[in-house]
Every structure is written in structure tokens, then in C-alpha cells.
Amino acid sequence: MNFDRVRVESSAVALAEGRERIARAVSTVARDWSPAQDEMLALVAEPPEDIIGVIERLKAVQKVLDLLPPSPGTNRVASFNTLYLTITEQVADSLRSPDCVDPEWLEVLDVEFARLYFTALAAWGVPDKNPADAWEVLFRRAYDDKVTVMDAAVLGVNAHINHDLALALLATWDRLGYPGEGPQHPDYLLVNKIFYQQIPLLRRRFATAWQLEIDRCVGDLDDWSQRILVRTTRAMAWEQAETLWELRDDPKDYAHALRVMDRASACAGEALLKGTSLLQVLWLTARAWTSRVWKRLTGAGKKS
């Protein structure tokens, strides 16, 4: 694979500067999980071993988040956690579905995916530890009531899919072997179908009154556009994982690639806050742009 380390590093710097330019001010900045920092850190100290453990942990985390500022049940990270719990429960049900080719593979992927979220929670507010920039975009706004619960949920999805998913794939391949486009890939796509089914319900659950009115006006357009978002972003995550897989034996190049992926995801998150009415367009534009940058810098798909 061709990998331009100098260009990747300069791109990482440019992405950090770009994030500063577009970042929206935060009215109430969260620095940790106070007043429940100890409870949160205790909950996420040990990684779950199976999908049932993931679901139990998400429920326990939800109870803590629902007690945090700005008022009971309105913490902005809690809104993402609720969405994530719903999707994870559906994935657990799908493991018993005849459509699931390799339940073990899909469960391991789900567990590795969740561990990254819990790791991010465990790093917030802890000296000498920092969550990924993509997660920091959401976490620092956990108490900010100027951020809608829908915006907050989407910020979490942005961090989890656009940053964590590729890393979860790598961890799964490390444990079970690299499948390429083998029999496990349809199971990866099976999760897309779960999103397709749940997105309309979840979007309307988090929407404000005027957002619901817009939703009624546009009919199925939002559902269609968000299906495209799911398909596009999850396809990008698989491609990024394949690129990282080829770089895994070169620590410096691997670290540079991770930095670009994280900062690009953080920029996409900040862009999402520029306006809910442009949410889908902004995300697609940001992800299409960062995907082009990623492929150009890493030489994705090219063999040396």
C-alpha cells in the first residue's frame, strides 16, 4: 500500500485547525461525569464479554446518565445511550435470525464495538486519559441544553460509526481472522437493516415539535436519506478498517492514520451542529470529503 506519512500528518493538523474554526460555542462545558464520576468509572472499568453483558452495561450506564445535569433524564450523552441500547437489543435478537450467517462473528463485533464506547466513557475526566476527539465533541456538551437531544444522539452515532466501527472490525479480525468479503460481510450488512427499521421510530422519539412537523411535511424523504447515510458511513468504516489492517504492522503509519480518522470524525461532528435542517447534507458532505482525503492519503485499495 502507498502511504504518504507527511501528507497524512499535515492533514491531521489541518483537520484540528478546521475543527477549531467551525466548532460551536458550548454554553455549559462538561469536564467529567460529576456528580456521578465514581459510579460511572466503576461501571465501565471491566469490559463486557458478550452481547448480554453489553446490554446490561448500557442499561446501568443509562441509569447514571439519567441522573446527571442539566436535569434528570435530559443529559445529552443519555440520549445517545438510549439509541445505542435500542439498536444493540435488536442486534441481539438478530443473532437468532436465520438471516445471520455467523452469529459468533456478529456478536464479537458488537462486543468490541461496545467496548470502545465504554473505554471512551472511562477516559472522560480522568487525568492523563482522553477519549477520542470524536467522542469529546459530544461529551463536553453533555450538560448543554442548547444542544437538542436529536443533535446529541447523532453526535454519538457520528463518533461510534465514523471512528469506532473501523477499530471494532480490526479487533474482531484480530480475534477471529480477517474475512475480507467472506461470509461474515452479509452479517455486517444485516445491521444496516436494523438501522433502517429503527431510524424512523428513533428520529421521531428525539424530535422537537417543529422537527416533527417538518417530518410530516417531507413524508418518507428523511427515512430514505438516512438509509443512505447508514449505508454510506458503514461502508466507509469497512473500507477504513481494511486500510488500517494493512497498516497494522507499521506503528507510525498506523498511528498517523488513526489520528486522521479521529480528527475527520470530530470535524464531521462539529459540522453537524451547524444546523439540524442541514443535518443529512452536512454529514454526507463531510464524510464524502473525509473519505476522499483518506483514500488519497493512504492509497486505499492500492498495493505496493
DSSP notation for 217-265? HHTTHHHHHHHHHHHHHHHHHHHHHHHHHHHTT-HHHHHHHHHHHHHHH
- pLDDT tops 70 at residue 222: no
Is 127 a domain residue?
Answer: yes
- pLDDT tops 80 at residue 63: yes
State how many domains the chain has.
1
Q: What range defines the domain where residue 39 resides?
A: 5-298
* pLDDT greater at residue 300 or residue 73: 73
Band of residue 22 on the pLDDT scale cut at 50, 70, 90 = low
* Average pLDDT of the segment spanning 202-207: 55
Expressed in angstroms, the distance from the first to the final Cα of the chain is: 4
Is 260 a domain residue?
Answer: yes
Is 108 a domain residue?
Answer: yes
- pLDDT tops 80 at residue 294: no
Is 156 a domain residue?
Answer: yes
Radius of gyration of the chain (CA): 19
Tens digits of residue pLDDT in 114-139: 999 999 999 999 999 999 999 999 99
Q: In whole angstroms, what is the distance from residue 73 CA to residue 296 CA?
A: 43
* Average pLDDT of the segment spanning 158-186: 88
- pLDDT tops 90 at residue 21: no
Is 304 a domain residue?
Answer: no
Predicted structure pTM score? 0.82
What is the predicted pLDDT for the residue at 66? 95
Band of residue 293 on the pLDDT scale cut at 50, 70, 90 = low
Is 259 a domain residue?
Answer: yes
Is 303 a domain residue?
Answer: no
* pLDDT greater at residue 31 or residue 204: 31
How is residue 27 annotated by DSSP?
Answer: S
